[in-house]
Amino acid sequence: MTTVFYGREHLLPFDTSRAVRLCLLDGPLGLGWKHSSMTSDFIAEMVALRFRPARRQYKLVSYDIGYVTNELIENAIKFRTHGEIVVEVLADADSFKIRVSNFVDDDAATRFQQLLSDVMAGDPGDLLIQQLEASATQSGNTSGLGLLTLMSDYQVHLAWRFEVDSPHKRTKLETYASMAIGLS
């Protein structure tokens, strides 16, 4: 197996012994957008619950965690090949970490790696503005808009690990994200 890495290397050590793990199974009804929304809302509530006494902070943490989680799960649903999606979450006093694992076909892995090469080479804020302008004029590809928003507007640190499984012509993709929370 070949492994390729993009992003912030410090995110790769992920303490699964303390993580909450959810599996979205690819059953007869298939995985859809509603699964992303429900799962994201659940995770956001679970993490934000300890901030409930400070209503404003609770709402902010809940919204931010929900947005980040939903974006990552939607990408996993949108670009996956058959199989489950595993969502693992860690939260401590001042940070939220998530790992989303799924399988993609080789073509999707290649396209995504090219996008990540472009994203990692530029400034997320500048790239976000370029993508928004391209979207407004309908003249360009708006791929990566969600990831750029996470990086630029939410200061989310991201990393991706691709593990190629040649015999099955698919790649295991792990997306890692980390974001500060609970800061007044």
In a domain, 29, yes or no: yes
Q: Dihedral sign, CA of 129, 132, 136, 140? A: positive
- Whether residue 34 lies inside any domain: the answer is yes
- Boundaries of domain holding 159: 2-106+154-180
164, exposed or middle or buried, with CB in 10 Å at 0-12, 13-18, 19+?
Answer: middle
| CA dihedral (14, 17, 19, 22) positive or negative | positive
Q: Which residue has the higher pLDDT, 157 or 182?
A: 157
* Structural domain contains residue 67: yes
CATH number, domain with residue 36: 3.30.565
Whether residue 124 lies inside any domain: the answer is: no
In this predicted model, what pLDDT tens digit does every residue of 52-110 receive, in sequence order?
A: 999 999 999 999 999 999 999 999 988 888 888 999 999 988 899 999 999 999 899 99
Q: What is the residue type of 106?
A: D
Domain assignment of residue 70, yes or no = yes
Residue 167 lies in a domain: yes
Mean of all residue pLDDT scores within the chain = 86
Question: What's the domain count of the chain?
Answer: 1
153 or 178, which is more confident: 178
Residue 74 lies in a domain: yes
Distance from C-alpha of 156 to C-alpha of 128, rounded to nearest angstrom: 14
Helix axes 33-48, 55-79, angle to 10 degrees: 150
CA pair distance 128, 141, nearest whole angstrom: 12
Q: How confident is the model at residue 183 (pLDDT cuts 50, 70, 90)?
A: low
Query: Do residues 63 and 119 make contact, with C-beta atoms less than 8 angstroms apart?
Result: no
How far apart are the C-alpha atoms of 54 and 32, rounded to whole Å? 34
27-31 long-range Cβ contacts below 8 angstroms, 24+ apart: 31/77, 31/80, 31/85
Name the residue with tokens 């902010």: 60
Question: What number is the average pLDDT over the span 180-184?
Answer: 73
- 49 domain-assigned: yes
The pLDDT tens digits of the residues spanning 150-168 come to 988 899 999 999 998 777 7
What pTM, to 2 d.p., does this model score?
0.89
The reported pLDDT for the residue numbered 6 is 93
